[in-house]
Amino acid sequence: MNRVPRFDDPRTGKDATAILIEQETMTHQVRAIILSAVFLTTAAATSIVWAGENSSLHAEGEKAFALGKYQAAENFFRAVLEKEPKNFLVLEAQANTKIKLKKYNEAVKLLDKILAMTVATGRNILVHTDGESEPLEAELVDDNVMAVDESAKDDEAFSEFLKKDYEGPVPHYRVFLKKSGKMKLFLKSRTRLQYSGIPAATREKIAALKSTVMKKSISAQRVKPAAELVALPGGCFQMGSRLGDPDEQPVHKVCLSPFKMAKYEVRQKFFQTAMGYNPSQYVGGDLPVDSVSWEGARDYCRKLGLRLPTEAEWEFAVRGGTQEEYYWGKNMPGNAANFCDSTCDLNNRVANLTDGFKHSAPVGSFPPNPFGLYDMSGNVSEWVQDWMAINENYYVMSPEQDPRGPRPELDACSGATCVGSISITKKIYRGGSWNQRIVDMRSANRKDAHFQLKEDGTGFRCAADRNP
């Protein structure tokens, strides 16, 4: 191993290398003192000095974050936010710091503050900088340009040996000044930008970051999966509807053996713990897992020693002994289930009704059906075990006792070695969801999709045989 040679100073007897280190340390201390003096002098001369101060704190926070000193970064960003609580750049920086510190709930609160802000229609800004008594109207061109700080060359507060530490490119903003019609660079550490709102791209980035943070929070909780099952007696009922689509006809008699159905749709906190991933579009531990494939639903139920319900079991369960189009009656009151209501962004929304949720709702948010099962209609659609028949009407040939759908012996698989689902690939899902119409929540309504498709708004619940 190479060793650094020791050179003793004949005057002091000390290691010369150590003396150089001490001098370097003193140099940095002197530099800090001079910087403080310069800053205080500027503070007396301008009415927006706090902008420069906060920009410096922001820059120090970014530096601490880059060095992995997250506790220090958290303190710097907190100091800025005490004076600028709506500075979305610092809110984002503090949120990222909280994530590193595994303070996920605090990070989500900060991100929610950003998401609550108005979205800017352009890149118009006000530039607050030292030496200007009024903010400058400008348009942001680039928020991170590395350039040499030309202002340092004219700063008499620094001696030549101190300036050497500042040589080289440092972060700047590039803006277009509206009054002069010219481009200009502003040193980040001495500048604060005031936005009229957050850019649309920033909002999208923050929304994606929030989903990631919430998934991290769910993983940290490690909630053990559970399924509360409701024992159903089985029996006979009329399956299908004369008022519905052709694939709901003919209405036919079906008799079922007793079975058990999960009281609730599968929560994300259970699915993510069991499966190690969370495909959901809208994330929350108590929200139903959505955008999950049929394979994912099947595999989860198997891990819990359960299974997906057959289509006949599902319709028997959703009806709860009723024969109306919906288990709550003929008409939709608005608060019976979660559908694409007036707050929904899609063009199939119902403009005159509101269910209280823009997207999916925490499971159990709406009244149960007569069997005590929650969200059987609405919230998320639910996969069932059955394949959708191809070029034939299964309802015409369905057995009366415990029907299992067409080709029940075929397992869902894919790839060159797949033996089974080559000629039949679509599985059935039921119940309607937050992004569908009211009519899609009818008890007899049927939909289908490829068994590997992760369709928006599609989840599931598990079932089990009922032991005698």
DSSP 260-280: EEESSPPBHHHHHHHHS----
Q: What angle do CA 41, 33, 82 make, to 5 degrees?
A: 70
DSSP one-letter string for 387-442: EPPSSS-HHHH--SBS---SSTTPPP--STT--STTS--EEEEES--TTS-GGGGS
Give the model's pLDDT for residue 309. 98
Locate the DSSP E strands across 355-423. 381-387
Give the model's pLDDT for residue 417. 59
Give the model's pLDDT for residue 120. 80
Q: Which amino acid is at 395?
A: Y
User: Could you give the C-alpha distances from 458 to 144, 284, 447, in angstroms and in order?
Assistant: 41, 15, 11
Nearest to 430 by CA among 401, 395, 459, 408: 459
| Torsion, CA 369, CA 375, CA 378, CA 384, rounded to 10 | -100
Give the model's pLDDT for residue 153. 54
pTM for this prediction: 0.74
Give the model's pLDDT for residue 296. 96
- Domain range summary for the chain, segments of one domain joined by +: 123-195, 222-465
Nearest to 448 by CA among 420, 428, 424, 419: 428
Domain 222-465: top CATH class: alpha beta
Peptide bond into 85 cis (omega under 30): no
CB-CB neighbours of 123 under 10 Å:
15
Q: Which two tokens stand for residue 41?
A: 């002098």
Please state whether 99 falls in left (phi above 0), alpha (psi between -120 and 50) or beta. alpha
Nearest to 256 by CA among 403, 461, 446, 406: 403
312 Cβ contact list (under 8 Å, min separation 6): 239, 254, 256, 398, 402, 403
Nearest to 65 by CA among 53, 51, 80: 80
Query: pLDDT means per 10 residues in the chain (468 residues)?
Result: 47 49 47 39 33 75 95 95 91 96 95 91 84 90 87 52 59 93 91 82 92 94 93 96 94 98 98 96 96 96 97 98 93 90 91 92 97 98 94 94 91 62 82 96 96 94 87
Distance CA 465, CA 231 (A): 9
CB-CB neighbours of 47 under 10 Å:
10
CB-CB neighbours of 273 under 10 Å:
18
Q: Which two tokens stand for residue 347?
A: 């063009």
Give the model's pLDDT for residue 39. 37
